[in-house]
Amino acid sequence: MGKKVVITDYQYENIDAERRIIGARGYELCDYQIKDAGELIPVCRDADAIVTQYSDVSAELIDSLEHCAMIIKYGIGVNNIDVEAATRKGIYVCNVPDYGVEEVSDHTVAMMLALAKKLPVLTRALREGDWGYGSTVPLSRFCESTVGLVGFGRIPQLVAKKLKGFGVAIRVCDPYADENLVREYGAEPVELDELLAESDFISVHVPLTRETRGMIGEAEFRRMKSTAVVINTARGGVIHEKALVEALKTGRIAGAAVDVYEEEPVKADNPLLHMDNVIATPHCAWYSETAITTLQRKVAEEVVNVLDGNKPMNCINLS
């Protein structure tokens, strides 16, 4: 019997590319729209490969797998997959780390510039009949700002590259980044406390792990300038959302731009959606038509690569 590939869930218009690439190798492709781990157990038990987007790929589900070789995420962050459980069973956990880096870095810079020029404030004021710049006072010159990047992987590297032309000073906190590489991008490596204290714009770019969950919380907001703004296009759980809301309400910080939330889809009554000093978007920083087609193609190619007996191109758990 041919090998079986299960797609647990997806939000794309179709999976024609996956069917074409995986089917061409003679592998069976089964697709569902199931998020719950318990409901997935009977359909995934005999899978050789699992493709997932938002489903809960729990330890219970992983332990039930009979001969699965790989679990791959439609995306970068694998926080919905129990990586430790997969590692114990010798199952590759893979992702596609480069499909949307241009889009996310663009989104980050766009949010930063919109906050720097107070565009949402200006737009709202003008609609209410306020002609002039009074609603934005005081406004600082962007090129005199300091931008702090928390994390220095592919996306923040592109953010640094794209910001270079604006003349801002860039600080980077990433204990895993090569300091020489950081300096090659015109940035200065610093500790987190220094970055928080010096930066006018603080942009978060770390994966959500046990170590990074809630790493920006009440204590960190107290270290920031009252004029600072925070941008998060990484994962909602990296920033303690309640502490962020409180910092914004009390004026501890000046503003925020968020594309990700602790609970997704975000609820309509989330305070971040109703604050004048916040830009909020629906976890779409990654999106472009090119990004979608690239992601779907690369996922299918990685599945075929591994089921053909090769080592994965992008594996996060097994060497």
Which three-class secondary structure state does DSSP give residue 120? Answer: helix
101-116 vs 154-163: helix axis angle to the nearest 10? 50
235 catalytic residue (yes or no):
yes
283 catalytic residue (yes or no):
yes
Q: What is the pTM of this model?
A: 0.91
Q: Of the residues 235, 241, 262, 302, which is catalytic?
A: 235
Domain spans of the chain, in order of start: 4-99+289-307, 101-280
Q: Of the residues 19, 283, 297, 301, which is catalytic?
A: 283
Confidence (pLDDT) at 223: 98
Residue 173 near residue 148 (C-beta atoms within 8 A): yes
Among 26, 12, 92, 11, smallest CA distance to 57 is for 92
Query: What is the tens place of the pLDDT at every residue in 15-52?
Result: 999 999 999 999 999 999 999 999 999 999 999 999 99
- Joined together, the tokens standing for residue 279 give 């830009």
Q: Do domains 4-99+289-307 and 101-280 have the same CATH topology?
A: yes
- Joined together, the tokens standing for residue 255 give 């503003």
The CATH code belonging to domain 4-99+289-307 is: 3.40.50.720
Looking up tokens 């909020």, which residue turns up? Answer: 280
Handedness of CA 216, 221, 222, 224 (dihedral sign): positive
Which three-class secondary structure state does DSSP give residue 248? Answer: helix
Q: How many CB atoms lie within 10 A of CB 95?
A: 23
Q: Of the residues 179, 183, 264, 274, which is catalytic?
A: 264
Q: For the chain, what is the mean pLDDT?
A: 97
Helix, strand counts (H, E) of the chain? 12, 12
Q: Which CATH architecture has domain 101-280?
A: 3-Layer(aba) Sandwich (3.40)
Query: What is the tens place of the pLDDT at every residue in 112-143?
Result: 999 999 999 999 999 999 999 999 999 999 99
pLDDT mean for each 10 residues of the chain (319 residues)? 92 96 96 95 97 97 98 95 97 97 98 97 95 95 98 98 97 97 98 98 95 97 98 97 98 98 95 96 96 98 98 92
